[in-house]
Amino acid sequence: MIAAFILVATFITAFISGVFGMAGGLILMGALALVLPVAAAMVVHGVIQSVSNGWRAVLHLQWIDWRILAIYLAGSAAAAGLLAFASFELSKAWLFVILGLVPAVIWLPKHILHLDAARPHHAVACGFAVTGLNVVAGVSGPLLDVFFADTQQDRRAIVATKAATQVVSHGVKIAYYILPALGAAGLPSVQWLMIAAPLAILGTTAGARFLALMSDVQFRQWTKWIVSVIGAVYVIRGVILLTGAGS
């Protein structure tokens, strides 16, 4: 039943990510945290999202901004190097709280936080911060979106470049949690993950077709509100677990 739940969640969230370039990963991380230990949830999420983001990058290959991606990799490598000397794992309660707070960054006024991934030093900071947050909370889409909100690109370039950067971040996350996950119960078998991979591709492909029907204005508006509602639900869930009411 857990594996079936993961497969259904994989397809639905891949479709959502295929449309908005984010939100799907946030939903999937919460769904996995409900049924798996934290380390196992991180690895499964990383594998599924790597496939989903990787396929989305392939679908929109011509739109990827390779300059931004190359600079992003430098920041991501720095974060990976720093994380190599740290070892930690959040409880489920705090995982939900942090997951829920991540979308709040997209509401910060521009005079407080005005970022643009097209600027080299911002792209480096993006790689470092997004990769680090992805390892801590499992997702970093809303933070990544802040760096792309003001870039002079259309929705396809934003979705394509973000997808490519997320493949890197999820790869770092898998490497960080794979040993704790293998040492604990709850990690789905390789066979189930092999079934989840094509479902992620199908969901992403369907989402890409829906994306073509949206305008840039609709894309930005829906993205902001969807992740905010999801974040509020996660914070409530985390607080319930912290108070013991959900145990």
Question: Is the per-residue pLDDT at 113 higher than 80?
Answer: no
Alpha helices in the chain (DSSP H): 2-20, 24-35, 38-59, 66-83, 92-101, 120-137, 141-148, 155-182, 190-211, 216-243
pLDDT at 22: 66
pLDDT at 213: 78
Average pLDDT rounded to a whole number, residues 22-40? 86
Mean pLDDT score of the chain: 86
Greater pLDDT, 245 or 241: 241
pLDDT digits (tens, 9 = 90+) for 45-94: 999 989 888 998 998 899 999 999 999 999 999 999 999 888 777 888 89
pLDDT at 21: 63
- CA dist., res. 107 & res. 99, Å (int): 15
Overall number of domains in the chain: 1
pLDDT at 135: 92
pLDDT digits (tens, 9 = 90+) for 117-144: 999 999 999 999 999 989 988 888 778 8
Question: Is the per-residue pLDDT at 247 higher than 70?
Answer: no
Count of beta carbons in the 10 Å neighbourhood of residue 218: 11
pLDDT digits (tens, 9 = 90+) for 190-222: 778 788 888 988 988 888 888 777 777 777 677
Domain that includes residue 229, residue range: 2-243
- CA dist., res. 101 & res. 232, Å (int): 8
Average pLDDT rounded to a whole number, residues 154-182? 90
pLDDT at 245: 63
Greater pLDDT, 169 or 193: 169
Range with lowest mean pLDDT among 2-11, 51-60, 224-233: 224-233
pLDDT at 237: 87
- CA dist., res. 191 & res. 120, Å (int): 41
% of residues, the chain, pLDDT over 70:
96
Band (pLDDT 50/70/90 cuts) for residue 226 is confident
pLDDT at 211: 77
pLDDT at 109: 77
Instruction: Kindly give, in sequence order, each residue whose CB lies less than 8 Å from that of residue 95, ignoring residues fewer than 6 positions away.
Output: 33, 38, 137, 138, 238
